[in-house]
Amino acid sequence: MLRRLIVGAAVFLSGEALAMPPAGGAFCSTYPTAPACAGQQPACTYCHVAPPQRNAFGASLEPHLVPGAARPLSYGDFAAALPSALKAVEAQDADGDGVPNLVEIQRGTFPGDPNSVPVDTGRCQAGENSQYDVCHYDARFAYKRLLLDFCGTPVTYAQLKEFSALSADARLARLDAELDRCTQSEFWRGKNGQLWKLAHPKVRPVGSLKAGEDKGVVPLADYYDDYALYAYAQLDDHDAREVITAKHYVLRETNPTRYSAVPTLPMQSVDELHRAGNITSRWSLIYFVMFSALPRNAASQAYRAYLGLDIAKQEGLFSISGEPRDYDNKGVTAPACAACHATLDPLSYPFRNYEGLSFPINPEVPWASYVPDRIEKRFANASPIITQMPETGYLFGQPVSNLVEWAEVGANSDAFAISAVTDYWKLLVGHPPTAEEHTEFVATWKRFKDTHQYRVQRMLHDLIRTEAYGAP
């Protein structure tokens, strides 16, 4: 299933790619019920291998986009022409997989990828498996799976026999009780447990640079603080958004593992006013900002880790007019770079005053902290216009005045909810949501955001009741 919130597309002139923000909106206005448009819009890869290279579906559209008109098309002309171009190729089979483009759009598969086709789920027949109902949700199967996934223990014969003797309602009640019990286990919440596993790609630990417990040879920061805040936000009745909005830190205690919110920690130095959860932890600032004037890496990592959007894959592109300005003189206005940097650079400006590392050490610019006028103090001579770089920026095309607001907007977005639930879906179901699982997945992330108010524990009770999880 397409899960990424994208509005980037491209048109081409002499091999140059230009960002075309209206593409996603025009697609979704044409097909509002398409799976690609549930809380999101289709990725650039819907029409492109990678700009400027089009996939089979993108190539089929091109002749119908104002043929004969000078390129590049204006945003208005492109947006006006795309719906009719889409309609013109609906009956075609662009990728030659035997399924018309319109059917693939409606079923949530890729009309430009011959390996992505709708799966016929009508072949299941009762009696194919004498142990489980392979056609429907089977609570016994979910029970076995739950104990492994949440407790790390296989079901015993006695447990399964007892469970099988329960009524249907009692089985569901037992599943809920076991979920709550297992999420108290060390396997789930302890060091290197399931929650830490989910946090790995967000923290991106490097043992040689670790300070504190299990310190490395160059101890710069203790990223166990980041794991602690992530785990705390996922547990009990805590708000998952705190992973990027928290003004507090989290203390981890062991034997058994417990997490508690605290106002300070010994190795953390960002003042409370400028904290944004793990985005502004000492580890994040030292490792992702490092020595850079414009912390593009820090911004792109936060975008990818917590909002599920990878700019390197041309996801989540919201081109801002007049961007990129190239304040640090890195050549990002070149045609091959500008399409992504028109999103990435405005996304990065709110990180402007967050220091990572500096050499020689300057007491006016302490490591891993918020430093007003950091650019003026550290990089004034880096380029002629670098001190003009603003702290205001854009997220999802929406203006944000600073990084704290950036985090608030991100945490309250559909992208955050989709990304968070996708993490658990991959951990527990075993793969990203498929087109066949689209309806259940959308219902789960929407309830996580609205009904459950970003409480992971509540969402998990929904997830273990999906057929994606409980059907053999």
Do 62 and 21 form a contact (C-beta atoms < 8 A)? no
- The residues near 431 (Cβ < 8 Å, ≥ 6 apart) are 425
Give residue 36's pLDDT band: very low, low, confident or very high (50, 70, 90). confident
Of 82 and 467, the one with more pLDDT: 467
- pLDDT for the residue numbered 19: 42
Measure Cα distances from 426 to 116, 149, 420, 432, 470 in Å: 19, 12, 10, 5, 14
pLDDT at 21: 54
Q: Give the confidence band of 51 by pLDDT, cuts at 50, 70, 90.
A: low
pLDDT at 398 over 90: yes
Question: What pLDDT band is residue 262 in, cutting at 50, 70 and 90?
Answer: very high
Whether 240 and 420 have beta carbons less than 8 Å apart is answered as yes
Question: CA Rg, the chain, in Å?
Answer: 24
How confident is the model over 80-109, as pLDDT tens digits? 888 888 999 888 898 898 899 999 888 888
Euclidean distance between CA atoms 54 and 122, whole angstroms: 34
Backbone angles phi, psi at 250, to 5 degrees: -135, 130
Which pLDDT score is estimated for 8?
38
Other CB atoms within 10 A of residue 436 CB: 18
Instruction: State the average pLDDT over residues 114-132.
Output: 66
pLDDT for the residue numbered 62: 83
Rounded to the nearest integer, the mean pLDDT of the chain is 90
Q: Which residues, 6 or more positions from 284, have their beta carbon under 8 angstroms from its beta carbon?
A: 226, 278, 298, 301, 302
The pLDDT tens digits for 271-324 are 999 999 999 999 999 999 999 999 999 999 999 999 999 998 888 889 899 999
Q: Which two tokens stand for residue 464?
A: 């273990």
pLDDT for 53: 75
If one compares 319 and 455, the residue with the highest pLDDT of the two is: 455
Q: Report the DSSP pairing between strands 10-13 and 249-253.
A: unpaired
DSSP state of 17: E
Q: Is 256 exposed, middle or buried (0-12, 13-18, 19+ CB in 10 A)?
A: exposed
Run of H or E including 387? none
Quote the CA–CA distance of 322 and 456 in Å, as a whole number.
40
Q: Which of 12-16, 91-95, 141-145, 289-293 has the lowest mean pLDDT?
A: 12-16
φ, ψ (nearest 5 deg) of residue 13: -145, 120
Q: Which residue has the higher pLDDT, 156 or 362?
A: 156
Cα–Cα distance between 228 and 371 in angstroms, integer? 25
pLDDT tens for 216-243 read 999 999 999 999 999 999 999 999 999 9
pLDDT tens string 339-379: 899 999 999 999 999 999 988 777 888 999 999 999 999 99
Name residue 241's amino acid. Answer: R
Indicate yes or no: pTM above 0.75: yes
Q: What amino acid occupies position 392? A: T
Question: What digits encode the pLDDT tens for the residues 201-213?
Answer: 999 999 999 999 9
Report percent pLDDT > 90 for the chain: 67
434 vs 360, more confident? 434
Instruction: Find the mean pLDDT for residues 231-260.
Output: 97
For residue 173, pLDDT over 50 is answered with yes
